[in-house]
Each structure stands twice: as structure tokens, then as C-alpha cells.
Amino acid sequence: MIRSARPDDAAAIAAFWNPIIRDTAITFSPLEKSVAEIADMIATRECFLVADTGAGAEGLVTYAQFRGGPGYARSQEHTIILAPTARGRGMGRALMGAMETAARARGHHAMIGGVSGSNPEGIAFHAALGYRETGRMPEVGWKLGRWHDLVLMQKLL
């Protein structure tokens, strides 16, 4: 079931998000998220959804304005993270569909994903959902002792 995240989801989200932050180049940040930081994101983001399998949150999607300033107000950048147990079960597709519907209802025009070039599964996932590569920035992310490309993927809503 896809639903709005609640503050009490923050610990479950931290449990699957932090290993991805710590151990992979899916995200370039090396800084793990505290339960309090995640709860704050849930409280302040326009949209923060989770995939709840009955055992708690196993996936998340959220978005925020792509860049600062009023000219970018209708362009959003999303983050999608799935627990390893949630992959390949349609939860990512369901989360993205619900997020795009919510963004469209709020008048947003473009959704952007910044995907690590070292994450071919993430690139293929976005392409399968109609996102197209609109930019590739070579070697802009440093993580795990090496450089990684940033692939910008965009879908007009």
C-alpha cells in the first residue's frame, strides 16, 4: 500500500536508507540520516510517500524544488529509495506513479531524477517509467574512493 509517510515511519526508513547511504554510490552523500532528520523531512516536504507492506515502510519517494528561485517552482527533483526486500515487487513503480500524480495535482510541470552513473538499474528503472536522460555530468560525485557520473533524467508531467 502506498500512503503518506508519518513521523513514526522515520526509524524504519532510516533502517533501509542508511545502509544505501553508507555502502553504495547510489547517493553521493556519505552522511547517514538520523531518525529526527527523516521525521523533519516527513513533516516539511510537500510530498513524502512510503510503500507499506504491513510490516512497515519498505520504500520511500519524496521531492523538493529542483533549484532555488521562483523560476524553478514547478520543476521538482525526486528521491526514491527501496529496501532490498522491496525491489522487484512493483513497489518502486507504484511509489513513482503516486508521486507523479501528487506532483501533477499540485501544478508541477517537470520531475527530475539525479541518478548515479554507477547505478545502471536506477537508470533503467527511470527509463522504463518514461524518464529520458537530459544530461550527464562526468565525475562530479566522489564516493567509495572513486568518481561517479551524475545522470539527470527528466519527465514532463
pLDDT at 44: 97
C-alpha cell at 151: 545522470
pLDDT tens digits, 31-77: 999 999 999 999 999 999 999 988 899 999 999 999 999 999 999 99
Residue 86 has pLDDT above 90, yes or no: no
What are the pLDDT digits (tens) for 49-60? 999 988 899 999
Instruction: State yes or no: pLDDT of 16 exceeds 90.
Output: yes
pLDDT score of 85 more than 90: no
Q: Which of 108, 120, 118 is nearest to 154 (CA)?
A: 108
Residue 6 CB neighbour total at 10 angstroms: 14
As a whole number, mean pLDDT of residues 121-143 equals 98
Tell me how far CA of residue 155 lies from CA of 9, 25, 44, 126, 150, in angstroms: 28, 23, 24, 9, 17
Per the structure, how many domains does the chain have?
Answer: 1
Residue 118's domain comprises: 2-156
Instruction: Work out the angle between the directed axes of helices 35-44 and 10-23 (0-180°, nearest 10).
Output: 110
The cell for 12 is 524504519
Q: What's the rounded Cα separation, in Å, for the pair 89 and 151?
A: 25
pLDDT value for 146: 97
Smallest CA-to-CA distance from 46 within 76, 14, 22 is with: 76
Domain with residue 18: its CATH number is 3.40.630.30
